[in-house]
Amino acid sequence: MEKSLNELNGVASVNVDLENKSVKVEYDASKVKVDAMKAAIEDAGYDVVGNV
């Protein structure tokens, strides 16, 4: 998942916490949309739930 998100143009950093089942992404909203990040997470085999 981290690799998939980092490949998106506009993503500055990714912090995955598998123990807490969370991910923190710093990004430039003018370059990447939340829907693209959600798709990258789902394409990596994970579900997106909760606060986005």
Contact present, 24 and 2 (Cβ < 8 Å): no
Give 1: exposed, middle or buried? Use CB within 10 Å, 0-12, 13-18, 19+.
middle
Contact present, 15 and 24 (Cβ < 8 Å): yes
Using the predicted structure, report yes or no on whether residue 3 has a pLDDT greater than 80: yes
Q: What pLDDT score does 17 carry?
A: 94
pTM for this model (two decimals)? 0.86
Residue type, 31: K
Q: What pLDDT score does 46 carry?
A: 92
Among 13, 8, 7, 41, which residue's Cα sits nearest to residue 26? 13
Q: How do residues 4-51 score in pLDDT, each as one tens digit?
A: 999 999 999 999 998 998 999 999 999 999 999 999 999 999 999 987
For each of the domains in the chain, give its residue range(s) and CATH number, in order of start.
2-43 (3.30.70.100)
